[in-house]
Structure 1
Amino acid sequence: MQRRYAKFLAGGLLAATAVAAQAAAVELNVSAWKGGAAEPAAMPELIAKFEKENPDIKIKFDYITRNDTTTIMSSRLQGGAAPDVMMVDRPLMRQWAAAGQLMDLSADPTIQKLAPDVKPLAQIGGKYYMVPMEVVGIGLFANETLLKKAGVDHVPTNISEMKAACTKLRAANITPLLLPAKDGWAPAMLALTMGLAPSVKANPSFVSDVVAGKQKFSSNPNFKQAIGALKELADAHCYDPKLNVGIDPWGLGLTEFTAGRVAMMPQGAWSIQKFTVNGKPAVDFVFAPLPSLDGGKAAGLDMLGTAWAINAAARQPAAAKRWLQFWSKEENLGKFLQAEAAFSPFAGGQSAIPASERLYAEARKAGNTVAHPKGDFSAAFIQEMQKSMAAYLLNINQDQGAVLARWDNAPQQQ
């Protein structure tokens, strides 16, 4: 009887303790543009795992699109009603850190784990305001089945190889290249990478020099050659410039590649999952670095993707830092990286990339990728760069220097 009574008391005590712990749990408000129905990115699974490992913290998750984050979250920060933790990228970090709205994370142990090439991208003026979650490549998707059918034995690595491949593909009645330019994004990324890779190799401070007005795109031979390369590809019948201006890279462009109607297309690695149907690749594709100017090596454009930042006025700062620590662990971040087909931002971190991304991974390991200048250049500059490339495709015979003059005249500083 006494033993039963002791068990009853013990059970009651455990139940009471669990109820008390639940009642004492703090609510950590987290906002992100990943985790929605269209792009879950393993977020629901990771939130559940975090709560299980941290029973004293309950996550209140707010899904807000990237575009809405700029307006909605800026207003909430000004009004003192922003979440404890916010998903950010480099432009948002610059904007909010400059306004004193983000916590200085310089002393946080997660910062020390960042890879050397990622650290500079997470700070302003020597202080760190965000913890990156991923490095995502922008490269060239290539349908290997179509390439082989046309007798092309490897993904082109430079402009000359690209033109030669186009000739074989056209002879086999295969559309060689899709360069969706409705918003100018695809041709802008191709031209930017071809010009930036050799320029940064020759001068690591090239981007900062341009922002400071010490360098100009219009006087840089690499960028002149890069813009001219787009005309070379058009003249080689790789793509139809005017036709591509009517194609949306985020809609019809993805559909055309998924359907196997085009051999190659510039895009981001985040689209790898979109080319998967019922768990299997819709087409036999590989994700490779973008072709280089002749004489160079194929280069990828590494974009620092999403990151976490803590509100300077966070109601639960201790819980917010535990959220950062959770994401810095490989077993947790790996689930997100796998969903995003992204590389780890941490030194020695394991990148859960698919086999289709092997060529890009090899280029990155060999040092043949260059950082996307998003966050260094202003959003207004990026928009003008894209608009200029759409305009260029509408009149591919215009002077390349005039295109680059638009880049020089755009507001480059944040």
Structure 2
Amino acid sequence: MRSYRKTWTAALLATAVLAVTAACGGSGGGETADGKVKLRFSYWGSDARQKMTEEAIRKFEAKNPAIDVEGEFSDFPSYYETLSTKVAGGDAPDVITLEIRALREYADRGTLADLTGKVGTADLDAKVLTTGAIDGKQFAIPTGVNAYAVLANPGLVEEAGLELPDDSAWTWDDFVELCSTVTADSGGKVMGTQLAWNPAYLQIYAAQKGEKLYDGNKLGVSPQTMKDWWAITQKLISAKGSPDAAKSSEIYDNGIEQTLIGTNTGAMAMAWTNVLGTAAKVSGRPLELLRMPKLAGAATGGMFLQPAMFYTASATSEHPAEAAKFIDFMINDPEAGAVILSDRGLPASSKVLASVEGKLPEADRKAKAFVEEIRGELADPPAAPPKGSSDMENLIKRYSEEVVFERMSPDDVAQKFIAEANTMIAG
């Protein structure tokens, strides 16, 4: 199941950020008419996120009356196009929200400031913090964390006469069998699952095979691992544990409201843990989180924590100290945490998380308990992926469709996928 957001292309981003080297002078907010420092803060999201972010900004301004913060908000589909245009024109916001897949694209071209020692990080998980560091410089501070997991609707599983599995021990074969049985026992009214081609899923599976998704500026997965991974998808389709190839391709890009689990026509799905609350709301049914299935005999389950997003600062901001102060507030101040709650992932600061736990919605408390339960099993968070990887999900989907539509043999697809992926991320 996709991230429920449109993707943006590496080509567009690279073209825009390359131009930043030609931009002259400072960027950011400058000063207001009454002499206050003006910071510009870019972020994306829903109307609800905009409302809570503006409230957090007002609390920051109340504590820092000499600073005005101007939010530059957009929906996600237009966010990176707008941001990259501003950066290319030498008009970067002072504080910039980024995803991990965009981090290296911006950091490697000198767009971002080094925040080492400028933002308090003592209460952040040290391993998660490293995901915002490149070449020893802390370019990004994680807002909160997620894990890629299985969402399950226990009611639909029980209606098929089954029970949720022991997720500490279930295998990929168990997953396929459960999904196919749910479909069969419901008479096809409920599918076992919806196909997923997310890079996080491939990364988890590769780790179970002792491989990495990325090995520097090339893929770390072998052709055999790709074929074995696609075999799970092929088994799901042939056993009717998921929709067929045509339907799976058709619904892949749908928002959560139109997914199988969101419409109560699918019993399970793979997604980030922060999707739990929205999925439960739109489905109107209680949902559970499960560990990803595991290869029999694998030394690790391969699951990991990943920042939901990062706060970064422009390297050309005219007010770097104030920009860092604002980021520190958004990450570490309980007042900001009480407003934002888990909107940007479970708060990265352990102190902020503890202070807001009682205010979290039930689904977010469930996600927190799940992450705490599996924390000791998790692999180290992956570093920022190489430049060009921002389009990896589209590439995986395109080649996966070659497999499920049987237009090419898995052997040929694996070789062609790896070759094109390596070219895309070669830097």
Residue aligning to 2:254: 250
SS in 2 for 1:209: coil
Would you say 1:239 and 2:242 are equivalent positions?
Answer: yes
Change (3 A) 1:312 1:195: same
Q: Residues 256 and 262 of structure 2 are in contact (CA less than 8 Å); yes or no, is this contact kept in structure 1?
A: no
One-letter amino acid matched to 1:83: P
Distance 2:82 2:402 in 1: 32
Contact 2:148 2:200 in 1 (8 A): no
User: Aligned pair in 2 of structure 1 residues 234, 301: CA closer, same or farther (>3 Å)?
Assistant: farther
Looking at structure 2, the residues matched to 404 and 359 of structure 1 have their Cα atoms a distance apart, in angstroms, of 38
Residues 303 and 372 in structure 1, CA contact (< 8 A), matched pair in contact too: yes
- 2:113 is aligned to 103
* Aligned counterparts of 2:178 and 2:61: Cα–Cα separation in 1: 52
Shift of 1:132: 1.3
**1:355-408 C-alpha deviation (Å, 9 max, x unpaired):** 44367425631323564676336224443122112332222x853333322331
1:314: how far off? 1.0
Displacement of 1:334: 5.8
Contact kept in structure 2, 1:245 and 1:393, CA below 8 Å:
no
1:265 maps to which of 269, 286, 307:
269
For 1:156-175, what aligned pairs fall within 5 Å after superposition? 157-169=170-182, 170-173=184-187, 174-175=189-190
Q: After superposition, what is the alpha-carbon deviation per residue over 1:192-250, rounded to whole angstroms, capped at 9, x for unaligned? A: 04522314xx46xx34536357x4521xx544322212222223220133221111343
Cα 1:354–1:71 change in 2 (3 A) is: closer
Match of 2:132 in 1: 122
After alignment, is 364-373 or 169-178 more displaced? 364-373
Contact persistence 1:194–1:292 (CA under 8 A): no
1:172-210, Cα deviation, whole Å (9 max, x unpaired): 335233325xxxxx23447504522314xx46xx34536
Report the alpha carbon displacement of residue 119 of structure 1 after superposing the two structures with TM. 2.9
Question: In structure 1, what is the Cα distance between the partners aligned to 2:313 and 2:201?
Answer: 35
Distance in structure 2 (CA, Å) of the matches to 1:406 and 1:192:
17
Letter in 1 for 2:110: G
Contact 1:134 / 1:337 at 8 angstroms: preserved in 2?
Answer: no
Q: Residue 10 of structure 1 aligns with which residue?
A: none
Describe the SS at the equivalent of 1:264.
strand
Q: Secondary structure at the match of 2:79?
A: helix
Q: Return the match for 1:55 from 65, 79, 82.
A: 65
Match of 2:394 in 1: 383
Mapped partners of 1:370, 1:139: distance in 2: 16
- Does residue 89 of structure 2 align to residue 75 of structure 1? no
SS for the counterpart of 1:263 is strand
Amino acid at match of 1:142: A
Gaps of 5+ in 1: 1-20, 181-185
* Bigger mean CA offset, 264-273 vs 347-356: 347-356
Could you tell me which of 315, 319, 322 is aligned with 1:316?
A: 319
Q: CA RMSD in A?
A: 3.2
Using the TM superposition, name which of 294-303 and 256-265 deviates more. 294-303
Match of 2:310 among 307, 311, 323: 307
Shift in CA distance, 124/208, structure 1 to aligned 2, threshold 3 Å: same
- Determine which structure has more spread, i.e. the larger CA radius of gyration: 1
Structure 2 CA distance for partners of 1:261 and 1:359, relative to 1, 3 Å: farther
In the superposition, the TM-score normalised over structure 2's length comes to: 0.77
**Counterpart Cα distance in 2 of 1:107 and 1:362:** 28
Kept in 2: contact 1:139–1:360 (CA 8 A): no
Deviation at 1:33, TM superposition (A): 0.9
Who is 2:3 aligned against? none
Identity of paired residues, percent? 17
Letter in 1 for 2:163: D
Residue 151 of structure 2, aligned match among 136, 141, 148: 141
Structure 1's 112 and 106: CA in aligned 2 closer, same or farther, altered over 3 A?
farther
Q: Judging changes above 3 Å, is the alpha-carbon distance between structure 1 residues 400 and 126 closer, same or farther for their aligned structure 2 residues?
A: same
d(CA) in 1 for partners of 2:280, 2:185: 29
**TM-score normalised by structure 1 residue count:** 0.79
| Partner residue of 2:403 out of 392, 400, 413 | 392
Question: Measured at CA, do residues 195 and 167 of structure 1 come closer, stay the same or move farther in structure 2, by a change above 3 Å?
Answer: closer
Residue 270 of structure 1, CA deviation: 3.4
* Secondary structure class of the residue paired with 2:155: helix
Q: What is the count of residue pairs matched by the alignment?
A: 377
The alpha-carbon distance between structure 1 residues 209 and 99, as it changes in their structure 2 partners (threshold 3 A), is closer
Instruction: Give the superposition deviation at 1:299.
Output: 5.2
Match of 1:327 in 2: 330
Question: Does structure 1 conserve the Cα–Cα contact (< 8 Å) formed by 2:199 and 2:393?
Answer: no
Q: CA contact under 8 A between 2:153 and 2:287: conserved in structure 1?
A: yes
Structure 1 pair 52/172, CA: closer, same or farther in 2 (3 Å)? same
Q: 1:350 aligns with which of 350, 353, 363?
A: 353
Distance 1:355 1:161, change over 3 A: farther
What residue identity is the alignment partner of 1:166?
C
